[in-house]
Amino acid sequence: MHDFTPISGFAGGALIGLAAALLMLLTGRIAGVTGIVGGLLQPDTADRGWRIAFILGLIAAPLIAALFGAPLPRPTMNGSLVVIAIAGLLVGFGTRMGNGCTSGHGVCGFARLSGRSIVATFIFMTAAIATVAIARHVIGG
């Protein structure tokens, strides 16, 4: 069972919020990972530089932490590679279709009090809770 860590959770969350605030204050952009990555995958996107830079920043964070002795993130994942691939497809397709994920709708959308984002967040949270309930307590139970 994994530890409940409210203090590091809140502190890390504050850093996520700081990054979202700074990206808007400095570049005028919403820190939504889906929109940033998805824009790169569209042929007609003109502004690629800042998108690539943000993604490189995300990947650089654990590499810099590793310089100070932190282990590289190699998380334990549930399920077979087939299930993981299906999950990845659903996450990629769904976030693009719904125009956002946990960062864009969840963090930035709630911070803007966007009705659209709040609705989306409640829906994907509910779908995820239902999926875990079925996987762990119906099928796996």
Partner 1 sequence: MPVLASFICGLIFGAGLLISGMTDPQKVLGFLDLFGAWNATLAFVMAGAVAVAASGFAIARRRTAPTFSARFLWPDRNDIDAPLVGGAILFGIGWGLAGICPGPALVNLAGLSLPIVVFVAAMLAGMIGQNLFGKNLWRPRTMAPRAAETASLPSRADG
Q: What is the b/e burial string over 17-48, where b = at least 16 CB atoms within 10 angstroms of the residue's CB?
A: eebbeebeeeeebbbbbbbbbbbeeeeeeeee
In whole angstroms, how close is the CB of 55 to partner 1 at the nearest point?
6
Q: Is 25 in the site for partner 1 (CB under 8 A)?
A: yes
For the chain, the C-alpha Rg in angstroms (whole number) is 17
Q: Is 28 in the site for partner 1 (CB under 8 A)?
A: yes
Which residues 1-20 are close enough to bind partner 1 by CB under 8 A?
1-20
Q: Is 69 in the site for partner 1 (CB under 8 A)?
A: no
In whole angstroms, how close is the CB of 71 to partner 1 at the nearest point?
8
Q: In angstroms, rounded to a whole number, what is the distance separating the alpha carbons of residues 112 and 104? A: 10
In whole angstroms, how close is the CB of 46 to partner 1 at the nearest point?
13
Name the residue among 71, 54, 53 with its Cα closest to residue 62: 71
Within its chain, how far is the Cα of 12 from the centroid?
A: 14
In whole angstroms, how close is the CB of 64 to partner 1 at the nearest point?
7
Q: Is 42 in the site for partner 1 (CB under 8 A)?
A: yes
Q: Is 139 in the site for partner 1 (CB under 8 A)?
A: no
Which residues 72-101 are close enough to bind partner 1 by CB under 8 A?
72-79, 81, 83-101
